Structure 1
Amino acid sequence: MGHAASPDARCGRRGLYQGSSMIGMVDYGVGNVGSLGNALRHLELPFVLSADHDELNRCENLILPGVGAFGPAMERLRSCRLDGFLLEWAASGKPLLGICLGLQLLLSASREHGKHTGLGLIPGQVRKIRGAPREVHMGWNKVIPRHDNHLVPRPGYAYFVHSYHCVPDDPTVVIADTSYGGPLAAAIRKDNVLGVQFHPEKSQEYGLDILRRFANGKF
């Protein structure tokens, strides 16, 4: 394992390795990278945790984690010059998986504490959850595949923590749902850009299987 600081420490580490760099975990200072790294190690999936473009470009696929609020997270991506990098990555056809807030950042815009522009890789809006007993959807909930797909091929229970949800312009990109005050998108796929609203790294074997499938190109 090697570790060298990036020019801007706020943009995460440059070259925190676990094995050869097959999976790139985007490190922009916003995300549950510790738990996600533990999950990848448990699965014996090699990864690199980095904000360095050259290192990430050597990977076969990318994971964009995220926890917190949409606006500050987008600012971090921009300050780390990762917004344009992610757009170029997606345009190249390489797989990209957003997790929780990381999924929301893939959409066009969010209304969380104002109006904020996202990456726009999945046209749509991020909106506040309405009609639920509590403001935050937190805990275990059932995930139900909307149609046959390889990333989320079967129903199961996953761990959620969010108060905003994704509403894509094209509803057919939603590949799995959950329910909290009404149906919510639990997983989305648009070509090589994918995302899950739940935390697979905290969802025991059900979530680990999804990470394994993404790493193996089964999506």
Structure 2
Amino acid sequence: MLSLVVNDRTHQVSGETMGDILRLAVGQLNKGQVISRVIVDGKEQAKFTDEEFLSTLTGVTAEVRVECEQVKELILNGLEQEKRFLTELLKEMPAIALGFRKSEAAPAAEKLGVLAEGLKTLVQLLQGVASFFPQANASFRFRGEDLQTHLIRFSKTLEALNKAQTQVDFVMLADVLEYELSEELGRWVELLADLREVVRGSEEP
């Protein structure tokens, strides 16, 4: 048995894995809430949605503390943070491209890793919008096109980026970053601002 704390209420529960415990936690959430933080014996688990954590055996764990947020507020904050992230990345894109043109690949490649993590967050946010605000997701248009169309275009740009990386073609990589990806990021900065307003005007799930 261990202590599971959800919404400041403590429950004595048992489960073989952390995934079992979090499934029990979900059953204690209030309407419109999602899990935002997980703290195990005083240590925050940044990747509590990863399979590695979920499959971890509870063992001698004494306490799992789960913090929650209203899903609407969480998504609104996430969209704003992602917009800021892409804005800052857009400013750095010429310097990253120049690094590859000069064959200074190490620092430039490090920035690509940051980009990859940011895009993973973007996908998770869009999945959240689709899941919790399906009507807003279905009706949303930016420059006359739906989200799926923008995602398809973005994925093609990322495929070109991946091809250049695989071929270790620094000139092609720099071109994709400086022109194609920069254009896409600029579009998505505006798109996320519009999407955030649509979600803000939607009813709580």
Please report the TM-score for the alignment, with normalisation by the length of structure 1: 0.27
Is the strand fraction higher in 1 or 2?
A: 1
Larger Rg: 2
Is the helix fraction higher in 1 or 2?
A: 2
Using CA pairs below 8 Å that are at least 6 residues apart, which structure has the higher relative contact order? 2
Please report the TM-score for the alignment, with normalisation by the length of structure 2: 0.28
